Amino acid sequence: MKTLKDIKFIAIAGAGTMGAGIAQICAAAGYTTILYDINEGAIQNGLAIITKNLDGAVDRGKMTQDQKSNILSGIKTTTDPEEVKADLIIEAVLEKLDVKKQLFATLAAVNGPDTILATNTSSIPVTQIAYGIPSPERVVGMHFFNPPHIMKLVEVVSGASTNEGIAYTIKELAEKLGKTAVMAKDSPGFIVNRVARHYYVEALKILEENVTDLETIDELMELSGFKMGPFKLMDLIGVDTNFEVTSSIYNQFQQDGKFRPSRIQKQKVDAGFHGKKTGKGFYNYQ
């Protein structure tokens, strides 16, 4: 079983916003980092996200140009799964069970049985992802929050098969990356997404019932002490991602009405209005 000192090489599977941010913080912590995606365009976009993040840190005086260069040089990229060999693999792909399972099955075939497989899932049970994967005890949840290079929290989630020692190794790693890590059991939404779900669901219900407009809802919540209103936050997270998480939790709770996904949010997803990343969501960013 790998301990923290055994982890030298970290691979990130998925070069979207989350994967890019996770790769950035791993490289910043001195780890040799592989950023993998099947799409070269996604990799280039991920590197652009990282560069933009680092440029912002340099502009604010939080980082030097040399530090920025060192971080970028510490990130290797590939579209070939045969080259994704590491002590730890963190997946940050689509929030779909079959996609995550296929990815881990593919990467398990080119890595040893002691390579830790960590999933950044925000709602899918870790137990389901681990089922059928060789050595399922090394599959663990490592749930970062968006944007991962800024947000301090990481949920470390143990599935039914997860080895306790591996879970604590991931907790130690998260802390080495500068995060606050909390241990969680495998349950719908884990901790944060279960607690926060109604921040979004109830706001959407108010909008559906025409009680007031979304701008007023956001303003009221921010005046109440929240840093971001629910609609601004959904746009930042990704309207599509947020909808997928709500749908997943809704189904895991046997369609309990209090978790019902919103038809307004579904329409945004269908239209491709996924928030800041597409230039339009509940608000227009174009």
DSSP 176-236: HTT-EEEEEES-TTTTHHHHHHHHHHHHHHHHHTTSS-HHHHHHHHHHTT-SS-HHHHHHH
Q: How many CA atoms lie within 13 A of 149 on its CB side?
A: 21
Active site residues: 122, 143, 155, 193
Pairing mode of beta strands 75-78, 88-91: unpaired
What is the rounded CA–CA span in Å between residue 272 and residue 141? Answer: 29
Question: 239-252 and 230-237 helices cross at what angle (nearest 10)?
Answer: 100
Residue 58: strand, helix, or coil: helix
What is the rounded CA–CA span in Å between residue 125 and residue 97? Answer: 9
Eight-state DSSP code of residue 284: B
